[in-house]
Structure 1
C-alpha cells in the first residue's frame, strides 16, 4: 500500500500567504514650532527623515520665536516616519512645514492622505488657522491636538473649539508631542474620525 499524504499532513502543510499591512498616509500639520517634528520623532519606528535647516537671522525676523527661544532649526520641506499599528495596518506619517512661505508644498504632501492631525500651541492660536482651514477646504478628516508646553495649556478645550470654529465631529484633546503613547492615541483619533466619515459616506449620510 502506498501512503499519499494529504495537503495538511506534516510539517510541509500549505499555509496562507501573509499579506503585508495596509499602508495608510496621515499628515501632521500646524504652525511654526508647535511640535510636529517632535511628534514624528516620538512615534516613528524608524529613524525619522527630517529636513531641518538652521534658523538664520533673516528667518528669525520672519518667524515668531518669542515662545520658542531655544529653537535653532526649522522644517523646510517635510518630516517622515512610520508606525506599524498591527499586522494589518501601517501608518506613514508626513509632517508639513509650519511657515506660510512653504505652503506651496502642502498639496503634494497631503495627496492621498486618509486624515490629518493639527497640532496647536494654545499660546499662538492664530498659527493653526491655516492648517484647520486647509483640511476643511479639502474635506480631509482631521483631529486637533493641543500640545501641552510645560504641562499646561493657555485655553481650555471649549474655548479652543469656539475660537477655531470646530464642529463637534472634530476630535479635540490635549496631548504631549514628546510622549509616544500620547502621540499614538492622537493618531488613532485621526483614524477613528476618518473611518467614521467613510462609513457615513458608504451609508449615504
Structure 2
C-alpha cells in the first residue's frame, strides 16, 4: 500500500484523488467597502455577482460621498471560490451592504465557518451591524481595513477600540484589489475558524 499524500487515498497500488474539503466563508461590511472587489480579486472562477445600477432613488438612501464613482451595488450576494491547497477549498459569499437587504443575511451566512468584516476607516459606523451580527451568532471573524488610496484613516488599535471587538478578533489592513493581500487576509480567518473547529472537537472528545 502506498503512503497517502495530501488530497489522495491509497487503496492497494492505486491512489485516488480526494476532492478538497469545502469551507464556506462570508465577506461582510457596509455599502461600498470593497466586498465585491475582494471576491473578484481572489476567485479562481468568474465570480457571480448580483450588481444593479444605483438609481437616483438609491443614491438618496446610500451614502456615496466617499465612493462617488460607484455606479452599481450588490442587491443579493457575490460568490467566488479559491482552492487553498489540494485538501481545502474556500467558497466565498459576499453580503449586500445596505441595511434594507439585511433580511438575506441569515440565508447567506448559514453553514459558514467564518467571516471577514471589511471596514472603510472613513466611515466606521457602516461596519457596526456586521460586527454585531457575527458576535451575536458566535461566528469566528476578523476585521480587515481596506486601504483605499493606499492608506487608512486610523490605526489598528484605534479601530479595535472604536468597534469594541474582543482581543481574540484579528484586526488587519489589506488591499481588496490585490490578490495576495486578499489571500493573506482570508487565511487569517481560515486559521481562526479551523482553530474553533478543533476546540469544539476536543471538547466533544472529552465528554464521551
TM superposition score normalised by structure 1: 0.92
Aligned position for 2:38: 39
Aligned position for 1:3: none
1:117 and 2:100 equivalent? no
- How far the C-alpha of 1:133 sits from its partner, in A, is 0.2
Give the unaligned 5+ runs of structure 1: 1-6
1:202 and 2:201 equivalent? yes
Aligned position for 1:156: 155
Aligned position for 1:53: 52
* Cα separation, 1, equivalents of 2:67 and 2:93: 22
- How far the C-alpha of 1:197 sits from its partner, in A, is 2.0
Aligned position for 2:9: none
Give the unaligned 5+ runs of structure 2: 3-11
* Cα separation, 1, equivalents of 2:132 and 2:43: 27
* Cα separation, 2, equivalents of 1:195 and 1:49: 26
Aligned position for 1:69: 68
- How far the C-alpha of 1:168 sits from its partner, in A, is 1.1
- How far the C-alpha of 1:202 sits from its partner, in A, is 3.3
Report Cα offsets for 1:31-74 as digits up to 9, x if no partner.
00000000000000000000000000000000000000000000
* Cα separation, 1, equivalents of 2:69 and 2:114: 31
Query: Could you say which structure has the larger radius of gyration?
Result: 1
- How far the C-alpha of 1:157 sits from its partner, in A, is 0.5
Aligned position for 1:25: 24
SS of 1:123's equivalent in the other structure is: coil
1:170 and 2:169 equivalent? yes
* Cα separation, 1, equivalents of 2:199 and 2:66: 40
Aligned position for 2:87: 88
Aligned position for 1:147: 146
- Supply the RMSD in Å over aligned alpha carbons: 1.5
TM superposition score normalised by structure 2: 0.91
SS of 1:202's equivalent in the other structure is: helix
